[in-house]
Structure 1
Amino acid sequence: MKKNISHLLQPLDSSKPNSFSNIEKADPAPLKNRPENAGRRNFLQKASLGGLSLGGLMMLPVEDTIAHTTSKVNRLSNPSELKITDMRVAQYGNVPILKIYTNQGIHGLGDVRDGADKRYALMLKSRILGENPCNIEKIFKTIEQFGGHGRQGGGVSGVEMALWDLAGKAYGVPLYMLLGGKFRDKVRIYVDTPTMPDPDQFAEKMKERVDMGFTMLKMDIGIGLIKDIEDTLTNKDPWMPLRGWTDRDVMSHAQTRHQHTHIQITQKGLEKMVEFAAKARAKVGYEIPLAIDHFGHMGYNEMIKLAHAFEPYNIAWLEDLIPWQNTEQWKRITESITTPTLTGEDTYHKKNFKDLIETRAVDIVHPDPGSAGGYLQTKKIGDYAEEFEIGMAIHHAASPITFMGTVHAAAATYNFIGLEHHSVDNPWWESLVTGIDGPLVENGYAKVPESPGIGLELNEDEVKRRLRPGEEFFAPTDEWNELKSWDRTWS
C-alpha cells in the first residue's frame, strides 16, 4: 500500500523555523549560486549523511529520504542576521571565562587571560552589543584601542577569541578553516616546569615529563634559586627579597626593568645555575628540545654571560631575558650568542612585533593569544615572522577553552614550533570542558578538533565547582550595557 505523501507537496511555510525554505538560509553557500557541476556531488554527499549508502537511501520512503538528507542542515543559525545580545563572565582561579550570547541561541567562549581583570573585557560590552559577531575584523577594529601589553590585552583578546568560536559554530566549521586551513593534524606541545630548589629534584621532574610522553620541555632557572648562596650575586641586597610577579611595589625587583637593577652574577653563580641544566640533560638526553625561562631581572650584559654558560647544553631557546620592548638590547644579545632567543608573551598586537621581527632582534617570536589580540592576530604575527625566516612558538597559561582554540591557530600557521601547556600538573583542568575525547594532550601532541568553532564546550557543573570565591556563574552584566564615552582617538 502506497503512503500518502501529498502533505510533502504543499507550499512551505517560511514562518516555521524547521521549514525547508530555511535550508538555503542556513547554508553560507546558497544553492542557487553553486556551480551546476556540483549538483550531483552534493546529492551524493547528502545521500551518505549518517552512514547510509546511496542504495540504502533509494529504499526509503520519500518522507524518510527528505528527513534524512536534511538532518544535518543547521537551522539554528542564519549568520547574516546574527546579533550579539549579551556578554558575561565566570571566573575560576585567576582565569575569567568569557561568554558572548546571540539572538539565535548560539554562543562563543573565550578567556580574559590568566591573571587579567575581567573588567578589561566587560568595559567592551557596550561597544559590541547589536553587532554581527561574524564581522570579527570590524569588531576588532572598534575595540583594539582598548588593548594593552601583558594582561591589559586580555579584554580585547578574550572578545576576539570568543567571536571566532561563535563564527565557527554559526557556519558549522572548525576554527582552523576560518583561519585559512591547517598545515598539521596535531600540534606539538611543550610543557612548562615549575621551579624546584634542588637540581636533582628538578632533573627528576623533567624526566617525569618525558615519561608522560612530552617531546619538548621548558624549565624555569632564575637567580631566585641561588640568592641564598654566598658569593653568587653582586648587588642583590637592595632588591631582597627577590619576590615573584605578584609583587606590586613599583620599586621592587619584580617591577624594576632589568637593566636598572644592576644585579650581576658571579662565576660561582653561573656554575650553580648551569648545574640545573646539566643535570636535566643528563636525565632526558640531548634529543629532546629543552628551553629555559624566568632568569630574573638583570641587564643584557649579564644575560649574555649567562647564555654563554648554558651553550654546552644545547638549549632550544632562552626566553624573556629582558623586556620585549628593548629591541636594540635584544639584538645585541641575539648577535652575541649561539642559543636562539625568544620573547613576546606580553606583547599586544602585530604592530608591536614588527620591530623585533624586521630587525631580527630575536630568533623566535612568542605571542600569547590572550595578550596579542586573539587567534587571528597570533596567526598574523606568525605569518609576518615567516617573511623574515623567523619561527613562532606560542605561550598559553589559561583555560582549556582557549588552549584548544590556540591549537587551531597553531595548526593554521606554517612556521609554528610549539605550544605551551601550563596546567599539566592540575588534575581537574581538562574536566572544565566537554564535547571532545580526552586527554587533550597525548604523547606530546594535541589533536586538532574537527567540530564547529573551537570544538568543545564548558562542563558547567565542573566550572561551577571551581568558581573563584565570591564569583557567580555567568551572572548578568547589565551595568555594562550602556556606552558612555566618545572613543575616537583622533580629530
Structure 2
Amino acid sequence: MKKNNKSDKKGTDRRDFLKKAGMGGLGLGSLLMAPYRNQIEHATSRVNRNSAPSDLEITDMRIAEIDGIPFRTPIIRIDTNQGISGFGEVRDAGDPRYALMLKSRILGKNPCNVEKIFKIIRQFGHHGRQGGGVSGVETALWDLTGKAYGVPVYQLLGGKYRDRVRLYADTAGADDPHIFAKRMQKTRVDKGYTALKMDIGIGLVADIPGTLTNTHAHAPVGSRDLQSQYSGTPGEYGQIDHPFTRVQITEKGLDALEEYVKVMRDTIGYEIPLGIDHTGHFDVDEAIKLARRLEPYTLAYLEDTIAWQWIDKWKEITNSTTTPTMTGEDIFGLEGGFKEIIDKQAVNMVHPDLGSAGGILETKRIGDYAEQGGLAMYLHYAGSPIGFFASVHAAAATQNFVALEHHSVENDNWYSLISDDTVVFDEGYVPVPEKPGLGFELNMEAIKENLTDESGFFEPTPEWNEARSWDRLWS
C-alpha cells in the first residue's frame, strides 16, 4: 500500500507540474526544448527580484530634519540603484552635517558591506553628538542590508537572545517629591512599565538655603540662582566639567535629595528597578556622599554623576558604595573608552547610546565585551523611532542586555512617525520586529508635519557628492 501511495503522489506531482507549466505561458515541450538560460528564467519567474544584493550600489544620501519628538533629530535616507532605501538618524540634537560629510565617502559602494564601509568612515566619528553621523549612516546600511536580503537586522547580527526587549521609562519630573512620585505612578507604573529612571539633581534644591556651596559663582550676572546644567553657553555652569565647579552638597542638601527617592520608593515600591540621572556637576567626593546616602533605597544605578572620561575617578566612586554605577551614553566606539572602563571595572554597568557609539554592530561589540568583563548593558536612547528600533535589534542580539530607554513615553508626535501596525509597547516590553531591515515603516506624512523650519523633505544634496580632503591618517 505504501508503494501505491507513493506512485499516486508522483502522478499527482507530475500532473500539477504539467498544469503549472502550461499556465505559466510556456508549454512543457517548449520548456524542455528551450535554451538552458530560458529554462532557468522561467523556473525562477516567481522569485522576488526586487533586490540583487551583490549588485547594489549607493546612489544618494539625503536628510529630513524633524523636531518635537521631543528633540530635534536629523533623519538620514540612503538610496540605491535598485530602489531600496535605508534609514538612520543623527543622534538627537546632533548636526546633520556630521552625516552629510560622509556621503562622498560611501557613494558607489555596496551598502551590504557594512563593516567595510564603517571602517572607512569611522575616523570621522567622535564622542557625544559627533558620533551621530557615523552611527546614523551605519544604521541605515544595516536597514538596507536587511531589506535587500529579506531578513530583520538582528538576524544579520547572529540571531536573537530574546523575542521582546524590556523598556525603562524616563522621568516624569516635578519640583515636589510627592507630585513627582504620583506622576511616575500614573504615567509610567500604571501604564505597565517595569523599569524607571528619575532625574534628581542639585538644581531641585539650589533655591533652599544651606543645601549647596559655591552656587553663586555659577549664577548669571545680577542673580543668585544656579545656572541650568543643560546650558550650552561656554563658561556657564552647564559647560563646566564636574571636577572644576567645586559645588558641594551639605547634609541638608542630601536630606532634601533623599526625600525625592524615599517618596518615590514609598509610592512605587521596590519591585521596580529605579535609576537616577542628571544629578548635576560636582566631583567625586560629592558623588560618593550621594551614592552612600541613597544605598537604603536599592537603586538600579546612579548614572553619569561625573563625566565618563574620568575613568579612574569612576572606579573610586564604584568602589566606595553599594549603589550601582553606570556611564557611557556619550562614548564613541569600544576602543574609544568602553574598553578601558570595562577592563578597569570602573562602573557596574555600561550604558551606550547607539546614536553615539558607532551604530548597531558597534553597540553589540560593546555589549559582548562588557559581558566578558562580567558587566551588564543598558541602552540609552532619546531620538526618533529609527534609533529606537535600531536599538531594539542590537538589544535582541546581545546576551547581557537589561533594558532600553524610551524617552518619548507621552509624545504623540513620536508615535505618529510609525505608519503601520508595529507594536511599540506591550506590558513593559517592545516585541522584536520580524520584518526585513529595522522592521517598521515610517509615516512620511508625519515626517513632513514635524520638519524643522530650516529643513526640506529629503531634498537633493549634490554639494556633498565630492570629497575635498585626503583622509588617510598615516604617511
TM more than 0.5:
yes
Partner of 2:270: 286
Return closer, same or farther for 1:88/1:12 CA change in 2, 3 Å cut-off. farther
The superposition leaves residues 449-483 of structure 1 with CA deviations (integer Å, 9 ceiling, x where unpaired) of 00000101210111101111121110101100011
Q: 1:214 aligns with which of 193, 202, 209?
A: 193
**Are residues 1:355 and 2:340 paired?**
yes
Q: 1:228 aligns with which of 194, 197, 207?
A: 207
CA drift of 1:23 comes to 8.1
Partner of 1:364: 349
Contact 1:347/1:372, CA 8 A, preserved across alignment: yes
**Are residues 1:254 and 2:235 paired?**
no
Alignment size in residue pairs? 441
CA drift of 1:243 comes to 3.7
Return closer, same or farther for 1:264/1:350 CA change in 2, 3 Å cut-off. same
The 1-side partners of 2:330 and 2:125 are apart by: 12
The 2-side partners of 1:227 and 1:13 are apart by: 82
Q: 2:151 aligns with which of 173, 176, 201?
A: 173
Partner of 1:399: 384
Partner of 2:315: 331
Aligned residue runs from structure 1 range 34-73, under 5 A: 70=46, 73=47
TM-score (norm 2): 0.90
The superposition leaves residues 404-462 of structure 1 with CA deviations (integer Å, 9 ceiling, x where unpaired) of 12111101000001000000020121120223433x11211000000000101210111
**Are residues 1:486 and 2:440 paired?**
no
CA drift of 1:250 comes to 2.2
**Are residues 1:88 and 2:62 paired?**
yes
**Are residues 1:424 and 2:409 paired?**
yes
CA drift of 1:12 comes to 7.7
The superposition leaves residues 13-60 of structure 1 with CA deviations (integer Å, 9 ceiling, x where unpaired) of 979xxx963987xxxxxxxxxxxxxxxxxxxxxxxxxxxxxxxxxxxx
The superposition leaves residues 362-382 of structure 1 with CA deviations (integer Å, 9 ceiling, x where unpaired) of 000000000000000000000
The superposition leaves residues 294-353 of structure 1 with CA deviations (integer Å, 9 ceiling, x where unpaired) of 000000100000011111111000000111010100000000000110000000001021
The 2-side partners of 1:158 and 1:22 are apart by: 41
Contact 1:23/1:75, CA 8 A, preserved across alignment: no
Partner of 2:3: none
TM-score (norm 1): 0.87
**Are residues 1:312 and 2:312 paired?**
no
Return closer, same or farther for 1:13/1:485 CA change in 2, 3 Å cut-off. farther
Aligned residue runs from structure 1 range 154-173, under 5 A: 154-173=132-151
Q: 2:283 aligns with which of 296, 299, 316?
A: 299
Q: Residue 117 of structure 2: SS of its match in structure 1?
A: helix
Contact 1:74/1:172, CA 8 A, preserved across alignment: no
Partner of 1:390: 375
Contact 2:173/2:183, CA 8 A, preserved across alignment: no
Partner of 1:378: 363
CA drift of 1:395 comes to 0.3
Contact 2:78/2:86, CA 8 A, preserved across alignment: yes
Return closer, same or farther for 1:77/1:23 CA change in 2, 3 Å cut-off. farther
The 1-side partners of 2:36 and 2:66 are apart by: 46
Return closer, same or farther for 1:339/1:23 CA change in 2, 3 Å cut-off. farther
The letter of the residue matching 1:371 is S
The 2-side partners of 1:410 and 1:110 are apart by: 17
Return closer, same or farther for 1:289/1:100 CA change in 2, 3 Å cut-off. same
The superposition leaves residues 99-154 of structure 1 with CA deviations (integer Å, 9 ceiling, x where unpaired) of 00000010101110101000000000000000000000110000000001000000
Q: Residue 433 of structure 1: SS of its match in structure 2?
A: coil
The letter of the residue matching 1:112 is V
CA drift of 1:74 comes to 2.6
Contact 1:216/1:289, CA 8 A, preserved across alignment: yes
**Are residues 1:74 and 2:93 paired?**
no
Q: Residue 170 of structure 2: SS of its match in structure 1?
A: strand
The 1-side partners of 2:352 and 2:165 are apart by: 16
Aligned residue runs from structure 1 range 91-240, under 5 A: 91-93=65-67, 94-208=72-186, 209-240=188-219
The 2-side partners of 1:243 and 1:480 are apart by: 39
Aligned residues with identical type, % of pairs: 55
The letter of the residue matching 1:405 is A
Q: 2:460 aligns with which of 470, 476, 479?
A: 476
Partner of 2:450: 466
CA drift of 1:246 comes to 4.9
The 2-side partners of 1:356 and 1:271 are apart by: 31
Contact 1:192/1:217, CA 8 A, preserved across alignment: yes
Q: Residue 239 of structure 2: SS of its match in structure 1?
A: coil
Contact 2:203/2:228, CA 8 A, preserved across alignment: no
The superposition leaves residues 211-265 of structure 1 with CA deviations (integer Å, 9 ceiling, x where unpaired) of 0000000000000101111000011111124444652322111111101101000
Contact 1:319/1:343, CA 8 A, preserved across alignment: yes
Contact 1:257/1:323, CA 8 A, preserved across alignment: yes
RMSD: 1.9
- Gap runs ≥5 in structure 2: 1-17, 220-224
Q: Residue 319 of structure 2: SS of its match in structure 1?
A: helix
Partner of 2:4: none
The 2-side partners of 1:210 and 1:197 are apart by: 20
The letter of the residue matching 1:113 is R
Where in structure 1 do 4 or more consecutive aligned residues deviate above 2 Å?
2-6, 8-15, 19-24, 241-250, 434-438
The 1-side partners of 2:205 and 2:453 are apart by: 36
